Chain A
Amino acid sequence: MAEERHIFSVFVENRFGVLARVSGLFSGRGYNIDSLNVGETDDPQISHMTIVTHGDAQIIEQIYKHLNKLIDVIKVTDLTTENHVERELVLIKVHAEPQKRGEILQIVEIFRGRTVDVNPTTLTIEVTGDEGKLRAAIDMLRPYGIRDLVRTGKIATMRGGVR
């Protein structure tokens, strides 16, 4: 069966041990987590997780069902099959000699990024977007020498309506 990438939106009780239960569900079955992001929702008792994973249809179905089975999980949506918005933020610390700085700042401009830190030899740049945009931005900056790169992992939500 063909492997597919899926994005799950998971609302959970904001409680001790929930993250371990969710990640244990994957590790215990040999499934992969490509990225996982957790944060509080507007209701401090509820957290939201965005989990990006991949697998064949059967594995994805099992992941969905097992997430639902966890006692602390309130709601699971497979966003891949829904109209949704996804974003990720990356911080890139790039090597920037004074004479290259102008070029780099132009690239940042094109990707609507921001410079969040500067020192004599590096610039730290923040870029937000979907996967394609982040990849393009990183590819453009790589020739200058990337010193450090940190990403949040995807966050995603359904378009329109209320949950």
Chain B
Amino acid sequence: MATTSGANILIESLKHAGVEYIFGVNGGAAMPIFDALYDAEGISLIPMRHEQGAAHAADGYARATGKVGVTLATSGPGATNLVTGIATAFMDSIPMVAITGQVYTHLIGNDAFQESDVIGVTRPVCKHSYLIKSSDEVADVVASAMHIASTGRPGPVVIDFAKDAQIHESLFHYPEQVNIRSYKPKVDGHPRQIAKAVELIHNAERPMLYAGGGVVLSNGCEELRELAIKTGIPITVTLMGLGAFPETHPLSMQMPGMHGSCCANYAFTDSDLVIAVGARFDDRVTGNLDKFAPNAKKIHIDIDASCISKNVPVDVPIVGDAKRVLAEMNKLVHRVEIEPWMRQIDEWKEKYPFEYQQKGDKVMPQYVIEQIYDIYPDATIVADVGQHQMWAAQHFKYTEPRQFINSGGLGTMGFSLPAAIGAQFGCPDKTIININGDGSYIMTIQELIPAITYKLPLKIFIINNMYLGMVRQWQELFHNKRYAAVDYHDNPDFALLAQAFGATGLRVERVEDVRPALEKAKGVDDGPVVIDFIVDEEENVFPMVPAGAGLGDVIRGLA
């Protein structure tokens, strides 16, 4: 058999692993890899304009498809630019492989040109990492990296690839299977624990399901639906899990937490049994831990043992894959008799829906989201970070997993546009809507260019309040309206800017223009359309659980 370069082996290995796209930015220490991709078949390089954008695109691809996203950058500044994207994927457990070129092995540690200790820099923000110093290792490393990224609790794996190892030749042999003796994720829940959980479920008077992104990651949404519907237990789904259970279903209590529904938050406070599935009791969900679900026993199903009893003591821990554990539970559960509890839930839902007040003739941001939902109910929403993200979570009803994509854990502004690009590559037939903020959009606006180049029919809807709105809201409420460094009135006209880039750009300033513009965007399918919605500047997100307060102390609104 003939030998081939380490770079070629990398590409062949990625192809073997089923990779279709690599999102990257070129540079010296990665040139042999880009060269190998130049005429590779069955795998495409999508050049992005900034490495952060490349990482988010790979991440968005992974979130939309469930497959491993792959990103590629050069050493030094290319690699450090990737870090935010890697950390974003890490916090949300997204399967990703990040490949960085590294300087020649004899230069490593020499402060060589464009050298950085990528393994060191990324260590706390990735699941695992490899340094390839020989072309002999490439295929095994790729196979292991793909395996580790996509199994257990998924996460990003970094491959730092020295340039000489990219150039040297070896035989290509992709391993049939990966066997890492020190890495054997436990996927099946313990039957005794499952039985205990079922007993608690059958004896509870005020049970609730609390599901998170882990259910989506394990593709366990069918099983989750079955559990809720078979038992008749009401369910709240976190920001990371939106769509795991249809929000249109009578059992749905919608999202919990800081900007969650009053119903879900009150339910936690009064519940006597919380069944957590693939959710990690994040502080944005629990509020003050001392006041969190004080009367409830807790069942916690999670693939990551270190997530269990981390923040909240758990009565019945079940370590395992959500899909498998739920399937086992479904065999054992029956309907529970909880009419008084359901009456209470329905009353809360009825009394405290997500709502807002129309201010004069202003375009209210929530109204824009409602209209987006009305016109594009099946679209995949990729939201950025801030108030618009919360409104997108609250006022659009998600019915399918992977229908809502956002940076929940790290809260990375600038995530959404490149992530939407990745999602569109992964799901060419879906309508992908990017709901962005005026502050977040500008952080990665350069990625509009590849969206145009590849004629992606992205709908980019900017909820433009001329502020870093979420921060301004906190300043209004907790800093005496001292609006330090949040005024974005000096932003350019985003419609004109879109046109200058070569996209369709529209500006909407009046309520009556909202729907026509959204309808018009529907017709644009040969490239992205940007609509700049000029909305009420000082609208706040409610309900709100202030930092440090318990969920029961949620502020429903400023009356």
Contact = CB atoms under 8 A, between A and B. Distances in A.
B306 A69 contact: yes
Interface string B482-513: 00000000000000000000000000000000
A20 B182 contact: no
B180 interface: yes
Contacts of B49: none
The B interface is mostly helix, strand or loop, or mixed, namely: mixed
Contacts of A108: none
B182 A72 contact: yes
Given A61-B309, A74-B181, A69 B123 contact: no
Contact of A71 (B124, B131, B183, B305): B183
A32 interface: no
B123 A21 contact: yes
B148 interface: yes
Interface residues of A, number: 19
B307 to A, nearest CB: 9
Contacts of A68: 305-306
A81 interface: no
A16 B131 contact: yes
Nearest to B120: A20
Contact of A69 (B119, B180, B304, B309): B304
Given A61-B309, A65-B306, A71 B180 contact: yes
A28 B126 CA distance: 13
Interface in A5-24: 12-13, 16-17, 20-21, 24
A62 B305 CA distance: 9
A66 to B, nearest CB: 5
Contact of B306 (A12, A62, A72, A74): A62
B124 A28 contact: yes
A12 B180 CA distance: 12
A130 B220 CA distance: 51
A146 B304 CA distance: 48
Contacts of B128: 71
A73 interface: yes
A58 interface: yes
A24 B119 contact: no
B129 interface: yes
B127 interface: yes
Contacts of A72: 182
A69 B306 CA distance: 8
Contacts of B305: 65, 68-69
A31 to B, nearest CB: 13
Nearest to B144: A71
Contact of B310 (A16, A21, A62): A62
Interface string B112-131: 00000001100110011101
Contacts of B181: 74
Contacts of A20: 120, 123
Contacts of A16: 131
Interface of B: 119-120, 123-124, 127-129, 131, 148, 180-183, 304-306, 309-310
30 contacts: A12-B182, A13-B182, A16-B131, A17-B119, A17-B123, A17-B129, A17-B131, A20-B120, A20-B123, A24-B123, A24-B124, A61-B309, A62-B310, A65-B305, A65-B306, A66-B306, A68-B305, A68-B306, A69-B304, A69-B305, A69-B306, A71-B127, A71-B128, A71-B148, A71-B180, A71-B182, A71-B183, A73-B182, A74-B181, A74-B182
Given A20-B120, A68-B306, A69-B306, 8 more contacts: A16-B131, A58-B309, A66-B306, A71-B128, A71-B180, A71-B182, A72-B182, A74-B182
The 8 closest A-B pairs by CB, nearest first: A65-B306, A74-B182, A71-B128, A65-B305, A71-B183, A28-B124, A66-B306, A69-B306
